[in-house]
Structure 1
Amino acid sequence: MRVLVLFAHPAQRKSSINLAMADVARRVDDLTFVDLYEEYPRFQINIDREQKRLLDHDVIVFQFPIYWYSTPSLLKEWQDLVLEYGFAYGPQGKLLADKFALISVTTGGRETDYSATGGNNYPLRQFLLPLQQTATLCGMKFLPPFVLHAANHIGTPEAQRHVASYGALLSLITTNQLDLDEAMTRDTIFPADLPIMAEH
């Protein structure tokens, strides 16, 4: 599987966990890693180049921190410009059909904050519905998100496990060892329980 990671983080000087995850992703064999804020600091997105990247890959990973219950602004700009009518959707726009979309996201809040009784009132998957529907409209298969809550402290054992598991997850995808059918049945992909293909 050809994997493209689109990394979007506007405040990298304040991030350690996402930078550690990005560093792990860069080291995965046979994977294309793109830092959108490094490539497009003035938001002048090269639409043709980005569309070609999408066509050249089977799995598109969007890695970003939750910003005000949504994506960072450059990633939204990327969606608005790159996923054009006639390319990504519409009667003649089926070029992304059957590709996989995977969200790798971090939150500042705890998992309990993302619940009906928590401070954010809704589960995290509710906030990701626009991305899921975008993938569905484009004919893509939306994998459950790979999530780290309370991601402000990379020194915690949970954060360190998450970083290592991110690399493992990407490696499993590139080597066709991730059980995508099993993954699609889950609400989220947990670092401690990656769905690995059974050996025959």
Structure 2
Amino acid sequence: MDAFKLHSGLVGPVDRVNVDTDAIIPKQFLKRIERSGFGQFLFFEWRWDEAGNVIENFPLNQERYQGASVLISRANFGCGSSREHAPWAIQDFGFRVIIAPSYADIFYNNCFKNGILPIKLSEEQVEDLFQRTAKHDGYKLHVDLENNKLTDDYGLSITFDLDEHRRQFLLQGLDDIGLTLQHVDKITAYEEAHKERLAYK
């Protein structure tokens, strides 16, 4: 997993509350066994109609938001089922950061395990970001995880809170396996000592 320290990216808005994981990646696309390839199905039923036509008024289908890597949305993002495919789809689509007032707990935890930074801001701060995104074509946010800072090119400067353990996950590019492997010497020493104890029995 790539380390996350600084990120600057175009902002893509999804102005909806209670965005659930079935909307993020519908169940019919969960048959893949790899983590990759889910991005094409992100928000599938919001991006295409039943005839397969592009829904042009959905923001992520609009030209001005193509290539967005910072997603902003409303409260309770990632609710519903606990499928890990949801952060897989978000990451595969190109998003590295999500900003919302609140998240479903399992989705929130899964983001860190997959290299995505979910930032929690107040309702008022998120509303301000929506207004800035609408006002400025090509609106970008700059995320500094080393200093927990969020800035833009128009004077915005916000400090966000983040659990230090989760912060270190991203700064060091670690998932659960990577975190365990940091202690491989101690694990190996324990296993060798355990073998020796068993040999004396």
The answer to whether TM tops 0.5 is no
What TM-score comes out, normalization by structure 1 length?
0.32
What TM-score comes out, normalization by structure 2 length?
0.32
